[in-house]
Amino acid sequence: MKTIFQHIKGDKTIWAIVAILAILSFMPVYSASTNLVYVVGSGSTLGHLVKHIVLLIMGFAIIYGVHKVPYRYFSGGSVLMLPVVIVLLVFTLSQGTTIGGANASRWIRIGGVGFQTSTLAGLVLMVYVARYLAKNKENTINFKESLWQLWMPVAAVLILILPANFSTTAIIFLMILMVTFIGGYPIKYIGLILGSGIVALSIFVLIAKAFPDAMPNRVQTWQSRIENFHQEGGKEAYQVEKAKIAIATGGTFGVGPGKSVQKNFLPQSTSDFIFAIIVEEYGLVGGFLIVSIYFLLLFRIFVVIKVTTTVFGTLLVLGVGVPIIFQAMINMAVATNLFPVTGQTLPLISSGGTSIWMTCFALGMILSVSASKEETEEDILDDNPLDILHETID
């Protein structure tokens, strides 16, 4: 055990939280996977559990590898990766495949493994925004220049994510506005960007309604999810109703591990609605434990922010850390019928490779920042992206 602790750096509490969440996910995923086995007819419950464990092990390997990288490299790396994710998003929109019934243009297959490119794009975009704000912290921001240097790349990525995944687009946009506000970007300009985003979304909806064959069912799906919120009828209302029954059945201490009934009726019981299964089997006590762990993770993220010595490090941790907690809160709000269905997974607990891996990549960056003691703003922002590429090749 001492040997292991000698090799891991950064906030040990975050390491512990990640390990606890991973371990706590085993039984819910194993239990809820009976839906995939007996209803969908996909594999075996043990097979789904083994796959989930393998994905988590790979996730821990990602955390370990990323947290060993000095976080100054993420600054220039975001500039290099931004064109890559734009190309991937374009390819995904044109060649995407259906994974578990999800919208076809969300996923691509790489080596037989499904990959959701929007999750990677959001992560890269947050780092890119943190880099821009840190570089201009001491400067008077020119709005026209920031349109080209900051908001054009943001708009390009969000426009490519929007047709297939509105909720992810909205979360990324809100998180970017939060980071820009904390990073000192003028409030009046943030207001203009927010207004422009609302106008752009309205134009997109009008175009989608005028040409329904171009993006079949997307706007209708968003509309139906909002209309079905707190109403009877529809697929989304059916899922929420079953989730509410699961939560009500769980009571204080739950019906016991593996004894959920509603897992057989919830189509996304291992991902989008896994929190409802946790409450059904482990009760309000289990649900409160999960919520408490996420809030503890949020607290440790702010601890890392407090001790970070650079603006980029602070904004990086904020930009990649807070969305993890925000996503968890949305997932639990959907399961408890406090929010319309969005398709957001519960980080590190829901099954799904892309979500686990990108969450682990974000956590690795946070741990890299917390492990760093000697980085300076000049070292970080003077990094040339091409120099990083040359060092990587060498």
- Could you say which DSSP state residue 97 is in? B
User: Is 211 or 121 the better-scoring residue by pLDDT?
Assistant: 121
Mean pLDDT of 186-195: 93
Quick one: angle between helices 353-371 and 45-67, nearest 10? 30
Q: How does residue 354 score in pLDDT terms, banded at 50, 70 and 90?
A: confident
What share of the chain in percent tops pLDDT 70?
Answer: 80
Structural domains in the chain (count): 1
Domain of 364?
Answer: 2-393
User: Is 351 or 178 the better-scoring residue by pLDDT?
Assistant: 178
Please state, in angstroms and rounded to a whole number, the distance separating the CA atoms of residues 69 and 67.
5
Give the least confident one: 54-63, 93-102, 190-199, 234-243: 93-102
The predicted pLDDT at position 235 comes to: 56
Please indicate, yes or no, whether the overall pTM of this predicted structure exceeds 0.85.
Answer: yes
Please state, in angstroms and rounded to a whole number, the distance separating the CA atoms of residues 53 and 63.
15
Contact 348, 22 (CB under 8 A): yes
Q: What is the pLDDT of residues 256-287, one digit of tens each?
A: 998 888 888 887 788 888 999 999 999 999 99
What share of the chain in percent tops pLDDT 90?
Answer: 48
Return the H-helix or E-strand segment holding 159.
Answer: helix 152-161
Q: Does the structure show a pLDDT above 60 at 161?
A: yes
